[in-house]
Chains A and B, each alone.
Chain A
Amino acid sequence: MNEKNSIVEIWVYLSGSPLLALFITLAAFQVGLFVYQKSKQSPLANPVAIAVILVATFIQVIDMPYATYFQGAQFIHFLLGSATVSLAIPIYRGLGSLKKRSFPLIVALLAGGGASILSAVGIATLLGADKTIIGAMYSKSVTAPIAMGIAERIGASPTLTAIFAVATGILGAILAPFVLNALGMKSWWQRGFPIGVAAHGLGTSRAFSINHEAGAYASLAMGMHGIVGAIAIPVLFHFFNS
Chain B
Amino acid sequence: MILGLVQILFFQSLGELVSKFVFPSLPGPVIGLVLLLIWLVINKNISESLAFVADGFSKYLGILFVPAAVGVVLFLPQLKANAVPIVGALVVSVVLTIACSALVLKLLTKKTDTHE
Binding site for B on A (CB under 8 A): 21, 25-26, 28-29, 46-48, 51-52, 55-56, 59-60, 66, 69-70, 73-74, 76-77, 79-93, 95, 101, 103-105, 107-109, 111-116, 119-121, 123-124, 126-130, 132-133, 137, 140-141, 144-146, 148-150, 152-153, 157-160, 162-168, 171-172, 175-176, 179-180, 183, 185, 187, 190-191, 193-195, 197-199, 201, 221, 226-227, 230-231, 234
Q: Are the C-beta atoms of A230 and B26 separated by less than 8 Å?
A: yes
30 A-B residue pairs with CB within 8 Å: A21-B67, A66-B73, A70-B71, A82-B9, A82-B57, A85-B8, A85-B15, A85-B29, A86-B8, A86-B53, A87-B33, A88-B33, A93-B46, A104-B108, A107-B108, A115-B97, A116-B94, A123-B92, A124-B88, A129-B89, A159-B75, A162-B68, A172-B94, A175-B98, A176-B98, A179-B95, A190-B102, A194-B101, A227-B33, A231-B26
CA distance A104 to B5 in the complex (A): 35
CA distance A234 to B36 in the complex (A): 23
Q: Are the C-beta atoms of B108 and A141 separated by less than 8 Å?
A: no
Q: Are the C-beta atoms of B33 and A158 separated by less than 8 Å?
A: no
Question: What is the distance, in angstroms, from A145's C-beta to the closest C-beta of chain B?
Answer: 7
Q: Are the C-beta atoms of B78 and A166 separated by less than 8 Å?
A: no
CA distance A221 to B102 in the complex (A): 12
If A81-B29, A90-B54 touch, does A123 touch B98 (CB 8 Å cutoff)?
no
Question: What is the distance, in angstroms, from B9's C-beta to the closest C-beta of chain A?
Answer: 7
- Which residues of chain B from 36 to 77 have any CB-CB distance to chain A below 8 Å in the complex? 36-37, 40-41, 46, 50-51, 53-55, 57-58, 61-75
Binding site for A on B (CB under 8 A): 5, 8-9, 11-12, 15, 25-30, 32-34, 36-37, 40-41, 46, 50-51, 53-55, 57-58, 61-75, 78, 81-82, 84-86, 88-106, 108-109, 113, 116
CA distance A124 to B85 in the complex (A): 5
Question: What is the distance, in angstroms, from A202's C-beta to the closest C-beta of chain B?
Answer: 8
Q: Are the C-beta atoms of A160 and B75 separated by less than 8 Å?
A: yes
Given contacts A25-B67, A127-B84, 15 further A-B contacts (CB under 8 A): A29-B66, A81-B28, A82-B5, A82-B8, A82-B9, A89-B40, A89-B46, A92-B40, A92-B41, A108-B102, A108-B104, A115-B96, A129-B82, A163-B69, A199-B98
Q: Are the C-beta atoms of B65 and A180 separated by less than 8 Å?
A: no
CA distance A130 to B15 in the complex (A): 33
Question: What is the distance, in angstroms, from A66's C-beta to the closest C-beta of chain B?
Answer: 6
Of the residues B37, B54, B84, B93, contact of A119 by C-beta under 8 Å: B93
Question: What is the distance, in angstroms, from A182's C-beta to the closest C-beta of chain B?
Answer: 8
Q: Are the C-beta atoms of A159 and B68 separated by less than 8 Å?
A: yes
* Interface residue SS majority, chain B: helix
Q: Are the C-beta atoms of B94 and A171 separated by less than 8 Å?
A: yes
Q: Are the C-beta atoms of A123 and B46 separated by less than 8 Å?
A: no
Q: Are the C-beta atoms of B8 and A171 separated by less than 8 Å?
A: no
CA distance A54 to B99 in the complex (A): 34
CA distance A141 to B5 in the complex (A): 28
Question: What is the distance, in angstroms, from B56's C-beta to the closest C-beta of chain A?
Answer: 9
If A133-B86, A159-B74 touch, does A84 touch B66 (CB 8 Å cutoff)?
no
Question: What is the distance, in angstroms, from B55's C-beta to the closest C-beta of chain A?
Answer: 8
Chain B residue nearest to A57 (CB atoms) is B73
Which chain A residues border B72 with CB–CB below 8 Å? 52, 56, 159, 163
